[in-house]
Structure 1
């Protein structure tokens, strides 16, 4: 009877989802705008960051030339995307010229080793402190705030030779799967500007998908790297938790202790993920075992086609088909008949969102106090009334989160902690150090703007990974009939990041890699 009721509920929920999409399409399909194609003379912007750094060091490309090209590309696409919110173009050009002078004089082996991304520009989400740049977190009350020092991640990237170029849009207070706030407005998905690029790193993914940034520094506490990477057709890696220094990002000082929050990158090429992650992991890079040599034929594979989380929409057939294609490919080319990919499920996946919400409330910050920039504790009901009377400067999703924390019943600690432990024990005992779990990304491809208000829990396939504190790589796997990116996640046990990236590299080769939102002019 339970299975019958679950099936009926799934069909009803799926029907409602299609109705939502239909009505929103009546407006947003007419708002779609094209992304300008990349000029042929800038075709090198399609290269990986590693390749660009190598070209600069070999004097095949000047850093100043690359920085100018990225600036020009941003100026071409940003009017359509609304991704970049502040920049340091002139300073970056001056720093690029200094790099070119350094290279002209000859690089020592020590500089070659210590600066793997010498002369390559990078962008980052505006919540990452870059000295002199905006640091609003999307809050109207902070609209005039500037960073007075660099975050630790920015310091490490600069030591690695990379050049900070611009800061990008984000959701108000970061925690929402769309990129929108009262200070800068909404960022659009480059594959369809009437749809969301995801959040909270949606602007970074949008730039990457349009050849407008070579390096994209992001953060992830509930899918904020992998959601936009999926929606925009890019790769995104969430490293093992507690290995990246969080000082200077989203109010963090870097000494808060254990957290689901991690720094990572969105890229066009898998080859960039390991070296970039090493940079921001700093002294803890060794914990990630990124230099481990992995033979994917020696791994064991598990996969999950769907959860039974009633708060999350049913997975659509096109996403199920993607998982089946990947599993079939691995079964045919990688594993043996004696050790084929195995289905996996655990009860914990039936409560993905609730588990994430419980542990989110254990994070070392007071989310409610951030709402008013630390000046006072807001009252959710009062804020809702103010919003209804057009007296609020906050996004409705921020108020929804206040209501969730202040009005709805709290989650029982004993239940959440026991279920989390059971899930980790069961999954990690199976994965060990030689297995991966193939996990769905989302119930559907990138949705229309604002539809997350009606389906606010559908990022749970991403956020459950944060609960696990595991490494996970979002991998693009082609497009659907509407040209929207599809994909899967590759998950491993903690400190086995190399397994995720090795499988992602294989899938990149077999399924075509990143899905770009525009062409290179011929």
Structure 2
């Protein structure tokens, strides 16, 4: 036993050394090639610092024209996109025309009932290109789908439109959404606005980059393995992953409305935590009551548990700056909002020692068949053949997609009996402790935003997000300032299923205490 413990300690230190060496090597190139995102001109675009709910109210009360807001978004996108490369396709002129129609409608007078049916009337939004928008490209980053166009809106896009929102653009994504970086052969690579030599994450990295740059008002995302929360963390904004099964999946990738047993859930990235509940309510539709988002919660009544690090050896050690951020949160909560008998408690379960393996097993239950997706359903791609083709520059797939193919086709599968047993034990233990009044504070990732391409050296570091998907529970990503290099820090707030309101209440409290979202550009 002692020898095993010693070996584990040695491995952890070797892994940490490896991580620092990797960062050192990649920094030599990327620190010399970073660019600054253009400053936000407050005289022209001050409205872009406000929440979607505040802007909707201003439009409703005739204090702001929808056309002016949409034009501000379009102008800001054109300023920042040459630096961050977030836009896949735009519909700027059509969006401006729709905004003018909204302004005319409001000028002619709308009843209170009509406004209540359209809570986002005149508010612009962007969405990841994997979300079908009628008449817009629907490539999912694949070369073989370069000419594909969506023939109808996804259900989520339809619900936002029915609420009065206006689509401005679709945004970049990783090829087939399978990686931690936003890059593909159709649209290229998206950069993190805090440091353009680093990734904004995936698969909603472009949405997070736009949000952090004040270039979008509402950002529709999806999350199967951290795809909403990872970019939110790396870009210093908020992201919410609702309880799976409550958001209609029709039209996201190739999903149908019947895929409700999935780990996948649609959500939003935003600079303002107060936007998350009303936006989630809209896309949840008739299932919104399940989430209890209008629940009145006193922060002092919440029971806090926390986990400083996991013991999953496939994942890097949590960096000291993130451990310090977690400790700051625990200290603040202990001092200000809890009694001695209700003080935050540490939590751990052996399931967290196998985060990636558990998620990998549950991915086999998802409907997508990666080999056929790679060919646009014209046969099955072979990972080994694609790797050989890649070595002679003949494969049209990204290397990370080939890696995922090899993992699926070559590596041994996770023992399903073990995975399902430990998943059940973890759920029962954690959710029994949390109940309807508890949250778990846990790390977002081992480190802040990595350098471009360095994720190949640490392919499983997204597991802190992925385990939440496997548990099928809600989680909110919360920004907590920056580290010495100016990179965003943060934590996840996790609750038992259908207790989304707890996550958002804690996120709101932490936003006030730690400053909220982090600017990725200067204001002038």
TM-score bracket, normalised by the shorter chain, equals over 0.9
**Which residue, out of 11, 14, 36, partners 1:12?**
14
Instruction: Give 1:331's aligned residue.
Output: 334
Instruction: Give 1:28's aligned residue.
Output: 30
How much does 1:221 deviate? 0.2
**Which residue, out of 396, 401, 406, partners 2:404?**
401
Alignment of 1:391 with 2:371, yes or no, is no
Q: 2-side partners of 1:255 and 1:409: how far apart?
A: 30
**What secondary structure is seen at the aligned counterpart in 1 of 2:175?**
coil
Instruction: Give 2:357's aligned residue.
Output: 354
**Which residue, out of 186, 192, 212, partners 1:183?**
186
Q: 2-side partners of 1:255 and 1:156: how far apart?
A: 17
Instruction: Give 1:156's aligned residue.
Output: 159
Instruction: Give 2:131's aligned residue.
Output: 128
Cα RMSD of the aligned pairs, angstroms, is: 0.7
Alignment of 1:55 with 2:63, yes or no, is no
Normalising by structure 2, report the TM-score: 0.99
How much does 1:338 deviate? 1.1
Kindly provide the CA deviation profile for residues 458-477 of structure 1, in whole angstroms up to 9, marking residues without a partner as x: 00000000001110000000
Kindly provide the CA deviation profile for residues 134-162 of structure 1, in whole angstroms up to 9, marking residues without a partner as x: 10000000001000110000000001110
Kindly provide the CA deviation profile for residues 25-77 of structure 1, in whole angstroms up to 9, marking residues without a partner as x: 00000011001011122111100000010111111110000000000000000
Q: How many residues align?
A: 521
Residue 224 of structure 2 contacts residue 469 of structure 2 at CA under 8 Å; is this kept in 1?
A: yes
**Which residue, out of 170, 181, 196, partners 2:173?**
170
Instruction: Give 1:64's aligned residue.
Output: 67
**Which residue, out of 457, 463, 466, partners 2:466?**
463
How much does 1:5 deviate? 2.2
**Which residue, out of 294, 297, 311, partners 2:314?**
311
Q: 2-side partners of 1:18 and 1:321: how far apart?
A: 18
Alignment of 1:450 with 2:425, yes or no, is no
Gap runs ≥5 in structure 1: none
How much does 1:4 deviate? 2.5
Q: 1-side partners of 2:59 and 2:6: how far apart?
A: 61
How much does 1:3 deviate? 2.9
Q: 1-side partners of 2:429 and 2:79: how far apart?
A: 49
Alignment of 1:433 with 2:469, yes or no, is no
Instruction: Give 1:372's aligned residue.
Output: 375
How much does 1:519 deviate? 2.0
How much does 1:399 deviate? 0.2
Residue 249 of structure 2 contacts residue 260 of structure 2 at CA under 8 Å; is this kept in 1?
A: no
Normalising by structure 1, report the TM-score: 0.99
**What secondary structure is seen at the aligned counterpart in 1 of 2:442?**
strand
**Which residue, out of 472, 475, 484, partners 1:472?**
475
Residue 43 of structure 1 contacts residue 520 of structure 1 at CA under 8 Å; is this kept in 2?
A: no
Q: 1-side partners of 2:279 and 2:7: how far apart?
A: 47
Q: 2-side partners of 1:22 and 1:314: how far apart?
A: 17
Q: 1-side partners of 2:120 and 2:260: how far apart?
A: 30
**Which residue, out of 300, 309, 322, partners 1:297?**
300
Alignment of 1:142 with 2:145, yes or no, is yes
Alignment of 1:206 with 2:214, yes or no, is no
- Give the stretch that moved more between structures: 103-112 or 477-486: 103-112
Q: 2-side partners of 1:482 and 1:366: how far apart?
A: 40
Q: 1-side partners of 2:178 and 2:295: how far apart?
A: 33
Gap runs ≥5 in structure 2: none
Instruction: Give 1:424's aligned residue.
Output: 427
- Give the stretch that moved more between structures: 97-106 or 64-73: 97-106
Moved over 2 A (4+): 2-5
Q: 1-side partners of 2:56 and 2:316: how far apart?
A: 43
Residue 244 of structure 2 contacts residue 260 of structure 2 at CA under 8 Å; is this kept in 1?
A: no
**Which residue, out of 486, 489, 497, partners 2:500?**
497
Q: 2-side partners of 1:38 and 1:120: how far apart?
A: 20
Kindly provide the CA deviation profile for residues 208-253 of structure 1, in whole angstroms up to 9, marking residues without a partner as x: 0010000000000000000000000000000000000010111112
Residue 126 of structure 2 contacts residue 219 of structure 2 at CA under 8 Å; is this kept in 1?
A: yes
Q: 2-side partners of 1:516 and 1:257: how far apart?
A: 36
Q: 2-side partners of 1:318 and 1:8: how far apart?
A: 22
